[in-house]
Chains A and B, each alone.
Chain A
Amino acid sequence: MKPAAFDYVRADHLDEALDVLGREGGEARVIAGGQSLMPMLNMRLAKPKTLVDIMHLDELARIERKATTVTIGAGVRQARLLDWPELSKALPLAALALPWTGHAQTRSRGTVCGSIAHADPSAELPLVLQALGGEVHLRSARRRRTVAAGDFFTGMMATARADDEMIEAVSFPADRKRCAFREVARRHGDFAIVACAAVATQDGVRLAVGGVADMPEVRDFPRLEASALDDALNAFAYQLDARDDVHATARYRRDLVRMIGRDLVREVLQ
């Protein structure tokens, strides 16, 4: 349970980090807070030849609030976002979900962008990004591009990021629509067995579910009454293609989607 050997690059400028990624591509990995990548290294599920540490880049450690978005740089730790005084007003859904993201002892180091880059299907921050329809800002030595959350997550721990790219920041739409979040995990702070987020939309509600499919999945529902809502949630639960694993059965996961989903939809549409 020790990492395989790698070169460690401490970048002092963003260009240096991008240069290493451009030259070494898939052999190099960016490390920020390390709370997702380090377990992968320790278990040798990831064996990069080079690790590029971006935590000395002050330009990445910014939270920027604009009229309609909040942009969070790759160096912003989860604890800092949780302590951001404007969080509950600007990003109420993130304010609800962040306390469930890891533990105080990992939020203190782990970054918001790092969790999104890791794209664990059970993680809360990718779920919030999906539910709100946020964007991921990717940067490489050759270009900059912005990818919608729905296009960024492509599978279990798989994203649209190219080998020479890094996440420079993520943007969440800032609005004060009604929202709700709930999660079931073995231990508060562990990865979710099922996590759900609901956000009010113009003509109904959007429900996002994590922990069941290979990536967070989103559905928009119109305003539905009792049995029609139950049927719609049941159909959604089956579409997620839940699987049995050591933590829970597929049937239990579907059950949670139906129950939590119904509670959240009602809460948001109240």
Chain B
Amino acid sequence: MSRLQAGQRHPVRFTLNGKPCTGEAEPRMLLTDFLRHQIGATGTHVGCEHGVCGACTINIDGVPARACLTLAVQVEACDVRTVESLAPLSDRLGILQTAFKRNHALQCGFCTAGILMSLDGFLREHPQPDEGAIRDLLTGHLCRCTGYTPIVRAALEAAAEMRGDLSREKSDA
């Protein structure tokens, strides 16, 4: 049993996007704040802070999770993936991100990081999703700009491209 005292910072060791990462957090610190303020990984956005909006969705040990409903100290020894993991290079977007850009699946972009992380994990497990499954997944997110339709289109297009059904010219777009 380990007891981490309130009001003191404790080391947290975990894997962030494939690399070992260490930071310090009080027990009450949310993973959202830990990632953004202690680690400097600001790709994860903070919306409602009670699990409703989905903006802070990340991936912990292979499953989607709300970072705002997770304590930093709970990810000790966990494998954490955030939106920063999606781009293969700093100047190249991933397939899903490119599909979002192409389909105007984001406007203000606030909800996008969470939606990308939900879809990324989902498409790995469900390479041939139908529209209903995508829409069901998106009920876990709020987007006030797009009306969701371009997001659904981008997700289906990205799924097809990941399967190799759709060949596109290589571009940065």
Show the binding face of A for B, using Cβ within 8 Å. 1-13, 16, 34-35, 38-39, 41-43, 49, 51, 53, 55, 79, 102-106, 108-109, 187-190
Contact = CB atoms under 8 A, between A and B. Distances in A.
B2 to A, nearest CB: 5
Contacts of A11: 1
Closest 9 CB pairs of A and B: A103-B140, A8-B27, A39-B50, A38-B69, A108-B63, A5-B6, A105-B140, A16-B1, A1-B49
Interface of B: 1-7, 26-28, 30, 33, 49-52, 54, 57, 60, 63-66, 68-71, 73-74, 76, 118, 122, 136-137, 139-141
A46 B21 CA distance: 31
B65 A2 contact: no
21 contacts: A1-B50, A2-B33, A4-B28, A5-B7, A5-B26, A6-B6, A6-B28, A8-B73, A9-B2, A9-B3, A10-B76, A12-B2, A34-B69, A38-B51, A39-B69, A42-B49, A79-B63, A104-B140, A105-B57, A187-B139, A188-B139
B147 to A, nearest CB: 14
Contacts of A12: 1-2
Contacts of B50: 1, 38-39, 42-43
Contacts of B140: 102-106, 189
B65 A51 contact: no
A105 B28 contact: no
A2 B28 contact: yes
Nearest to A189: B139
Contacts of A188: 136, 139
Identify which of B28, B69, B70 gathers the most chain A CB atoms within 10 Å of its CB.
B69
Contacts of B27: 5-8, 51
B6 A104 contact: no
Contacts of B5: 7
B6 A105 contact: no
A108 B3 contact: no
A11 B4 CA distance: 11
Given A2-B30, A3-B28, A38-B70, A108 B65 contact: yes
Given A7-B27, A42-B49, 11 more contacts: A6-B6, A8-B4, A10-B76, A13-B1, A34-B70, A51-B27, A55-B74, A104-B64, A106-B140, A109-B60, A187-B139
B128 to A, nearest CB: 17
Contacts of A38: 50-51, 68-71
